[in-house]
Amino acid sequence: MKLTGAEIVMECLLREGVDVIFGYPGGAILPTYDAMTRYTQIRHVLVRHEQGASHMADGYARATGKVGVAIATSGPGATNLVTGIATAMMDSSPIVCITGQVSRGAIGSDAFQECDITGITIPITKHNYLVTDVEDLAYIIKEAFHIARTGRPGPVLIDIPKDIQNATTDFEYPEEEIELRGYRPTIRASNEQIEDALALIKNAKKPVILAGHGITMSGASQELQELAERAQIPVSLTLLGKGALPENHPLTVGMMGMHGAAACNFAIQEADLLIALGMRFDDRVTGNLKTYSPNSKKIHIDIDPSEINKNVRVDVGIAGDLKVVMQQLLPDLKSQKHSEWIAQIREWQEDGDERDILHHTSPDKLLGAQVINELWKFTEGNAITVSDVGQHQMLEAQYYPHQRPATMLTSGGLGTMGFGFPAAIGAKFGKPDEEVWAIVGDGGFQMTLCELATAQQENIKVNIAILNNGFLGMVRQWQEFFYEERYQATPMFNPDFVLLAQAYGIPAMRVTSREQIEESVKFARSHEGSVLIEYVIEKEEIVYPMVPAGADLHDMIRRPKPGEVQA
C-alpha cells in the first residue's frame, strides 16, 4: 500500500508496540502530526517544553522497560530535547526521539528553524539518523528501536526532513531480523570466565556485591538474591540499583558512595572481593580511585565491554547480559557462610543508626529526612518515586527503602535538575495502576513546572512532593563545608507553590509540621488528578554522610552522635 513518510512513521510505531508518545508540534514535523489523526491507537501527550518530552519518554522507559518515544520539530524543538537525551544516555535508558527537519533542498542554507541536530547529538546518542530517502524510513525506524533496546540500552534520534514526511512510497514493514555489522552485543560468558569467578567467590572471606542499574534492566533480581543468599554475601546498592534486592532483606547493606551508608563504604574498603554487577564504578561511587577497595579482588559483569577496566582494574571482567551470565554462574555456586564478616558490618550499621537524625531531632523542626521517611511509612513503601536532583534525591535514597526494581527513578549520571516531575508523568503513563510520587526540590521543580499544565490537560495522576528549603540545597551544603559559608547564588526566591498549583486547577496543600504529613498523603490520595504538596522544611539541613569530591571512600564527613562535636 502507498503511504506518506509521515504515515510510515506512525505505522512503524504501532508495529513497535508504542502506545504513547510525548511531544510538541511545529512546522517541520507537522505532516507527522497530521498523520496522527489517523492513528488514534497511539496517544499523544502535549508537553509544554520539549525537554519535558524527552524526560517523560525516559520515565516511561525506566518504569516499563519498554522504549519511550519523544517527538519535536526542527531547530529549537530539537535542541530542547538535548538535555533529556543526554540524561537517558548516561543512565542507559531506551528512548527514540523523532525530530522534524527542513526539506532536503534547504538543508545547509540556514533555513528557518534549521539545525544540525544529528551533529549535535552524536556524543549523546547510541546512534542517530538523518533520513534522506523515504524508502529507507521504515527500516531505519525498526533499526532505531532495535539499537535503543538491545545491548546497553540508550537513546536513538531520527531526524526526518519535511519533504520525506510528505513523500509517498509503497509501504511494506520490514519483517527480517536486524543485522548490523559491528553491533553484536555479547550475551554469554565463557566457561573459563565462569570458573575464574567461582574460584574467587569460593576463596573470599569478606566479599561484597555491588548491585547496579543493570540488575533491573536485565531482569536479574531473582538471580542476585539467589547469589547473595547461597553464598551469604552482603549487597551494596548504587543509586540506580535501589530495589534490585529488597532493601529490607537482611543482606542489604544500603547505598554506597558519596552519600551512601557508612557501613556500606567501610565494607567496600575492607572487602577482599568485590562482585560488581551492572554498575560502572563512577566517581560518586568510588571516591579516590587510588585508594578504592585496595585489598580486594574484583569481578565485574556488565553488558558494555567498554566499561570493563575503564575506571577500576578488575581480576575477572565479563561482558555479557547480566541475567544470562548469572544463570551460567549459579548452578556451580556452593553454599558459604561469612558470619564474622556480616557481624562486623552489623556493628558499622549500629554505629550509623546512632547517628541517624531521625533518632535525635528537635520536635519543632520539619526535616527533609522526616518527610521522606513518613512518605515511605504512609505509602507503605509501595509507591514509584521519581526524584529530581539535590539533597532531596539523596534523602529519598536514604529514607525511602524500595522492595521492588524500577520503583526509584532518578537522574544518576547526568544529575539533571528538572528531571523528576516530567519523568514522573512518563512513569505514570507507563504504569497507570501504580501510585507515583514526584519528589522534587524548590529549585529543580521550577525548571520544568510548566508541565503542571500537561498533567492537568492529560488528566494524569501524579503526586508532587516539593521539599522547599528556600535554597539550592546541595550547592549550599558544599558552600557550607568547603567555601566558608559564602552562600553565593543559592538562596532562592520562590513563588507561592500552593497558589501556583491552584492557578493550574491542581489541588495543593502546604505542610509545616511532621504531624501534617499523614494528612497530606490522605489529601493526595483523595483526588483523582495530580496533587501538589509543599513541605516547608529546615533551611540548612545537611545530608550525611558525605565523601568530599576526590577523597578516600572511607574518609566521610559523618553526623556526630548525640553529645559529640563535629570534627
Q: Which residues are catalytic?
A: 50, 112-113, 162, 474
* Sign (positive or negative) of CA dihedral 170, 171, 176, 179: positive
Query: Is 464 strand, coil or helix?
Result: strand
Amino acid at the residue 364: D
Amino acid at the residue 485: E
* CB-CB contact of 6 with 34 (8 Å): yes
Please tell me the number of Cα atoms within 13 Å of 144 on its side-chain side: 27
Q: In whole angstroms, how large is the CA radius of gyration of the chain?
A: 24
Angle between helix 391-399 and 473-482 (nearest 10)? 100
Query: Is 281 strand, coil or helix?
Result: coil
How is residue 334 annotated by DSSP? P
Please tell me the number of Cα atoms within 13 Å of 414 on its side-chain side: 22
Name 183's Cβ contacts closer than 8 Å, sequence gap at least 6: 147, 151
Chain length of the chain: 567
- Nearest-5° angle of CA 467, CA 430, CA 507? 40
**Could you tell me if residue 563 is left (phi over 0), alpha (psi between -120 and 50 degrees) or otherwise beta?**
left
Q: Where do we find the cell 577497595?
A: 293
DSSP alpha helix (H) spans, 65-124: 76-79, 82-90, 117-121
Q: Which residues of 157-177 are buried (b: 16+ CB within 10 A; e: fewer)?
A: bbbbbbbbbbbebebeeeeee
Distance CA 540, CA 535 (A): 14
Q: How many CB atoms lie within 10 A of CB 499?
A: 10
Name 13's Cβ contacts closer than 8 Å, sequence gap at least 6: 21, 39, 42, 69, 141
C-alpha cell at 123: 556524543
Question: What phi and psi values does residue 509 have, to the nearest 5 degrees?
Answer: -150, 145
For strands 168-170 and 2-4, give the pairing: antiparallel
* CB-CB contact of 523 with 531 (8 Å): yes
* CB-CB contact of 398 with 358 (8 Å): no
